[in-house]
């Protein structure tokens, strides 16, 4: 077992070098031989099986049986055409599935986990799926462990192993741990191992890969869970259920049509085929596919605008978001800190003035973990700013490191809001403490003033606090520096009886476009809440700049939150727009408070401690520059770390939902129109022949269903979409009159088709059939243009904006003209050539659907009567 082996034994077993790693050549060979570092997925269905599944429907099978019977009744052409149309429909279904799967595979590729390895002696980042046995992997806080590793080096490494052991308590890891060869330990006790899928909470490490994919410990568990179910989004589930209900209703109506036809002594076999064909055409089996493709293509669009949606449901939920809780640094601001002022000897000075006090600039340089290399200063933006400021004020980097070597450190954490470093200086050790005013000043008993140490009095404290408030009011982030000397490395002495030295004030300018994005969010009915670790005054000053908040009454601090119950916090959140001095735990409470008030919450985060709040939110949004844990926990990743991208993603999410709504209403209106045509004809004209044949119904389903619906799903963004308030999470696609809209349009399509039948009857039965056939199909194509906008005239939104829909319309109409005029189609579909009068009636009746809907929009130009939101509110 790897945990019982020495490093040398492990090197021999895995044929690797624990210092240099594998060569690229050897890694490629092992990847080819053993496969990738991935858990087995459900095997994809073959193309043949996908095609076969399209016929796995009782109604289709009955129709095929009818086609077979037609052969025996010498209606060979009918039989061939029925089978051909069903086959073409099946191929369209397979194409839709393939398109959706292709988009989803692209999504998986975009969000693939990465790993840092050493190969050929060089550090590089690769896809975690390409890790092989013997790879040398490097870990740091915020990483997921990408494979089972035998640790060879650890520095304060803490790992959370709940995915394997169920225990959420962090486990301390130690590469130097050794175990007897005959000792068997449970996973939780193997201190020199890190296992795939666990999370690095703190520290860093290096380790050799000892197991990948299904051979890893998580892989062994996965073998027991081979029944992988395809997860559907909430909207997909609702529409799948709706399809079943509507399908059942369609079957009942079609059965009723057949029964009535039998009573009327019509041709039994012909009406059986017609009824079944109508049922097949009317069942909206394409709805789930349209939704999946729309969501997946929306994901692709988002990725082009720096937002990677990791989960399809996030695309749906984005359109419902009513509150965005956002970090400040790096999201609203540029994350490029610059020291612009400092406080020393009782005065606030501009950073352009040189710092006379050596301890202030040297202390800020030493008390931090930024690094100076050939490319400049790198590290945390705050520490980078302080180090650059110190260097600009004459600090000699090489000399100060030699003169004051670091011998101990108490790292910064969000709870303490400070950090301390200890440096050797002769026989003594000097401690520097850097942090927030309220965290450091209470620890101070003295003040460094004009080169000497004096007792810190109450008036002096008040003066420091007033100066800090003044700097914070100018949107500066204020950090305090204090010091003391100690004789030993007893940590309990490091942060007591400190001597206050001074403060530095830094500014982090807002990102370009953020203020406008926040204004757009407010216009769209979305509240923006800034969550920051800054002082309340600093946070408010930035909030004012960005239009988030205007007064301290809109600011809540972490300390104030602790005094509020969950219900009180939910009440407070109705007017709070800034949370200052916030901790990761506060973020979780904020999300819960908003959700208690039935808000749909988006939360941003970038650190390992942000994972709980990202999970708790309806949409967790991670920064592309954040930790691996935050990215893998999130629903959406911002590759440019920009708040404006969130608003763009919300806009895209709303548009995707709106387009799905258009496609659904189109499909159901058209299906209802087909049922209405045949049902009314049978009921109202008992002696007249049926207005449509089985083949004509199937042809209409082929030409007017799938492609116009998919074209509507690709409709360009509605320019008015962000003038609306967020829709409710429980809102139906048919809310506030949607059903009425669908039913009225469906009934109208059916009615004008029968009007065409009456006109055609003046010529002959075949002409009547043909005109009904033409109006029913061409009216549906015109109806697809109606649904380009649910509120505005199609002439206002631009006739040529959706080129795909326009092409579908033109091709569809051309096909209908062709089937009337070409002899081969006249034979197959039993159509007759129409004269100009008939064509005029066909196009006049079909286009009247545009006129009816345009009049409706004219009377309600801004707020269409079946939409649930109000742009005027």
DSSP per residue, 218-267: HHHHHHT---PPPP--HHHHHHHHHHHHHHHHHHHHHHHHHHHHHHTT--
Q: What percent of the chain has pLDDT over 70?
A: 86
Q: Higher pLDDT residue, 230 or 794? A: 794
Return all residues near 273 (Cβ < 8 A) that are at least 6 apart. 63, 66, 70, 78, 82, 694
Query: What is the per-residue burial (b if ≥16 Cβ within 10 Å, else e) of 428-465?
Result: ebbbbbbbbbbbbbebbebbbbeeeeeebeeebeeebe
Q: Higher pLDDT residue, 307 or 67? A: 307
> Which range among 71-75, 606-610, 613-617 has the greatest average pLDDT?
613-617
Q: Give 88-133 pLDDT, tens digit per residue.
A: 767 766 775 676 566 556 555 555 688 899 998 888 889 888 999 9
Q: Which fold has domain 338-507?
A: Calcium-transporting ATPase, cytoplasmic domain N (3.40.1110)
* Catalytic status, residue 327: yes
Residue 862's pLDDT is 47
Selected catalytic residue, list 78, 327, 534, 610: 327
Residue 217's pLDDT is 85
Residue 436's pLDDT is 94
Class of domain 319-333+510-641: alpha beta
Strands 199-211 and 555-557: unpaired
Q: Is the pLDDT of residue 265 over 90?
A: no
Residue 418's pLDDT is 93
Q: Give 543-570 pLDDT, tens digit per residue.
A: 999 999 999 999 999 999 999 999 999 9
Q: Give 764-790 pLDDT, tens digit per residue.
A: 999 999 999 999 999 999 999 999 887
How many residues appear in the chain? 873
Q: Is the pLDDT of residue 85 over 70?
A: no
Residue 278's pLDDT is 67
Residue 185's pLDDT is 84
Q: Are 50 and 94 in contact (CB under 8 A)?
A: yes
2-41+112-223 and 338-507 share one fold? no
Residue 229's pLDDT is 46
Q: Please give the structure tokens belonging to residue 761.
A: 């009857």
Q: Give 577-592 pLDDT, tens digit per residue.
A: 999 988 888 999 999 9
Q: Give 132-172 pLDDT, tens digit per residue.
A: 999 999 998 888 899 999 999 988 888 888 767 666 678 89
Q: Please give the structure tokens belonging to residue 393.
A: 């004020």
Residue 339's pLDDT is 95
Residue 863's pLDDT is 45
Kindly list the domain boundaries of the chain, sorted by start residue.
2-41+112-223, 235-302+649-718+730-859, 319-333+510-641, 338-507
Burial class of residue 717, CB neighbours in 10 A (0-12, 13-18, 19+)? middle
Mean pLDDT for the stretch of residues 270-275: 70
Residue 377's pLDDT is 83
Of the candidates 638, 660, 32, which has an alpha carbon nearest to the alpha carbon of residue 287?
Answer: 660
Residue 845's pLDDT is 97
Q: Are 463 and 346 in contact (CB under 8 A)?
A: yes
Q: Is the pLDDT of residue 266 over 80?
A: no
Residue 42's pLDDT is 58
pLDDT-derived band at 871 (thresholds 50, 70, 90) equals very low
Ranking 31-35, 723-727, 734-738 by mean pLDDT, the lowest is 734-738
Residue 89's pLDDT is 65
Ranking 264-273, 733-742, 768-777 by mean pLDDT, the lowest is 264-273
Residue 225's pLDDT is 45
pLDDT-derived band at 861 (thresholds 50, 70, 90) equals very low
Residue 524's pLDDT is 95
Class of domain 235-302+649-718+730-859: mainly alpha
Ranking 326-330, 573-577, 587-591, 798-802 by mean pLDDT, the lowest is 798-802
Query: For 2-41+112-223, CATH number?
Result: 2.70.150.10
Q: Give 13-30 pLDDT, tens digit per residue.
A: 889 988 888 999 999 999
> Which range among 117-121, 516-520, 658-662, 699-703 has the greatest average pLDDT?
516-520
Mean pLDDT for the stretch of residues 609-629: 84
Of the candidates 140, 66, 284, which has an alpha carbon nearest to the alpha carbon of residue 626?
Answer: 140
pLDDT-derived band at 713 (thresholds 50, 70, 90) equals confident
Mean pLDDT for the stretch of residues 849-869: 67
DSSP secondary structure letter of residue 509:
P
Rounded (10°) angle between helices 706-713 and 694-704? 20
Q: Is the pLDDT of residue 61 over 60?
A: yes
Mean residue pLDDT of the chain comes to 84
DSSP secondary structure letter of residue 326:
E
């Amino acid at each position: 077992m790897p945990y019982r082996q020495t490093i040398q034994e492990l090197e021999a077993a895995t044929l690797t070098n624990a210092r240099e790693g594998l060569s690229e050549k050897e890694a490629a060979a092992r990847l080819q031989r053993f496969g990738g570092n991935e858990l087995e997925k459900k095997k994809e269905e073959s193309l043949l099986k996908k095609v076969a599944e399209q016929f796995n429907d009782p109604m289709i099978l009955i129709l095929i049986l009818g086609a077979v019977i037609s052969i025996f009744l010498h209606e060979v052409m009918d039989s061939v055409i029925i089978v051909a149309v069903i086959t073409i429909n099946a191929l369209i279904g397979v194409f839709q599935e393939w398109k959706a799967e292709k988009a989803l595979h692209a999504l998986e590729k975009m969000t693939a986990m990465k790993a840092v390895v050493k190969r050929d002696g060089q550090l590089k980042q690769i896809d975690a799926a390409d890790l092989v046995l013997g790879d040398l992997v490097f870990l740091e806080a915020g990483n997921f462990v990408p494979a089972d590793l035998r640790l060879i080096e650890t520095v304060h490494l803490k790992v959370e192993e709940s995915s394997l052991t169920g225990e959420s308590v962090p486990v301390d890891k130690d590469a130097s741990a050794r175990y007897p060869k005959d000792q068997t330990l449970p996973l939780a006790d193997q201190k020199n191992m890190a296992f795939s899928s666990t999370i690095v909470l703190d520290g860093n490490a290096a380790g050799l890969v000892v197991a990948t994919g299904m051979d890893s410990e998580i892989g062994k568990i996965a073998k027991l869970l081979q029944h992988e179910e395809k997860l559907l989004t909430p909207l997909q589930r609702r529409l799948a259920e709706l399809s079943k209900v509507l399908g059942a209703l369609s079957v009942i109506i079609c059965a009723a049509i057949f029964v009535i036809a039998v009573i009327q002594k019509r041709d039994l076999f012909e009406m059986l085929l017609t009824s079944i064909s109508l049922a097949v055409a009317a069942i909206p089996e394409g709805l789930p596919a349209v939704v999946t493709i729309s969501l997946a293509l929306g994901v692709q669009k988002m990725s082009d605008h720096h937002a990677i949606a990791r989960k399809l449901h996030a695309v749906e939920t984005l359109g419902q978001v009513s509150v965005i809780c956002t970090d400040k640094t790096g999201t609203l601001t540029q994350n490029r800190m610059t020291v612009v002022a400092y406080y020393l000897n009782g005065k606030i000075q501009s950073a352009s003035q040189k710092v006379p006090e050596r301890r202030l600039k040297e202390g800020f340089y030493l008390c931090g973990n930024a690094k100076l290399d050939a490319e400049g200063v790198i590290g945390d933006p705050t520490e980078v700013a302080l180090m650059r400021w110190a260097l600009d004020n004459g600090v000699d980097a090489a000399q100060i490191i030699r003169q004051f070597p670091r011998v101990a450190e108490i790292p910064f954490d969000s709870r303490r809001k400070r950090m301390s470093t200890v440096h050797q200086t002769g026989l003594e050790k000097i401690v520097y403490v850097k942090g927030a005013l309220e965290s450091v000043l209470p620890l101070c008993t003295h003040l460094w003033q004009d080169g000497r140490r004096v007792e810190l009095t109450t008036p002096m404290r008040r003066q420091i606090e007033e100066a800090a408030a003044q700097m914070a009011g100018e949107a500066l982030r204020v950090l305090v520096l204090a010091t003391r000397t100690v004789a030993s490395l007893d940590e309990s002495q490091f942060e007591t009886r400190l001597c206050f030295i001074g403060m530095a004030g830094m500014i982090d300018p807002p990102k370009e476009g953020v203020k406008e994005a926040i204004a757009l969010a407010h216009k769209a009915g979305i509240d923006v809440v800034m969550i920051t670790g800054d002082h309340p005054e600093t946070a408010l000053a930035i909030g004012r700049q960005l239009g988030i908040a205007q007064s301290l009454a809109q600011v809540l601090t972490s300390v104030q939150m602790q005094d509020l119950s969950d219900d009180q916090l939910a009440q407070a959140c109705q007017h709070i727009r800034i949370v200052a001095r916030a901790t990761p735990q506060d973020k979780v409470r904020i999300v819960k408070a908003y959700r208690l008030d039935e808000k749909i919450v988006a939360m941003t985060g970038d650190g390992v401690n942000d994972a709980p709040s990202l999970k708790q939110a309806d949409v967790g949004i991670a920064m592309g520059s954040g930790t691996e844990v935050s990215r893998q926990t999130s629903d959406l990743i911002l590759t440019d770390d920009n708040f404006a991208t969130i608003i763009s993603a919300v806009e895209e999410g709303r548009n995707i939902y709106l387009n799905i709504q258009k496609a659904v209403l189109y499909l159901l209106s058209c299906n209802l129109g087909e049922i209405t045509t045949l049902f009314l004809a049978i009921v109202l004209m008992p002696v007249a022949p049926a207005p449509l044949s089985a083949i004509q119904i199937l042809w209409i389903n082929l030409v007017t269903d799938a492609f116009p619906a998919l074209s509507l799903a690709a409709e360009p963004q509605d320019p008015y979409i962000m003038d609306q308030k967020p829709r409710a999470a429980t809102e139906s696609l048919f809310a506030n009159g949607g059903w009425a809209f669908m039913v009225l349009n469906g009934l109208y399509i059916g009615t004008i088709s029968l009007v065409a039948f009456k006109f055609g009857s003046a010529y002959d039965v075949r002409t009547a059939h043909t005109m009904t056939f033409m109006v029913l199909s061409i009216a549906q194509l015109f109806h697809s243009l109606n649904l380009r906008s649910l509120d505005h005239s199609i002439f206002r939104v631009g006739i040529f904006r959706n080129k795909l829909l326009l092409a579908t319309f033109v091709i569809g109409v051309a096909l209908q003209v062709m089937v009337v005029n070409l002899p081969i189609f006249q034979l197959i579909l039993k159509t007759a050539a129409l004269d100009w009068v008939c064509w005029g009636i066909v196009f006049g009746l079909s286009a009247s659907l545009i006129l009816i809907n345009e009049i409706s929009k004219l009377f309600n130009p801004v707020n269409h009567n079946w939409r649930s939101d109000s742009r005027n509110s």
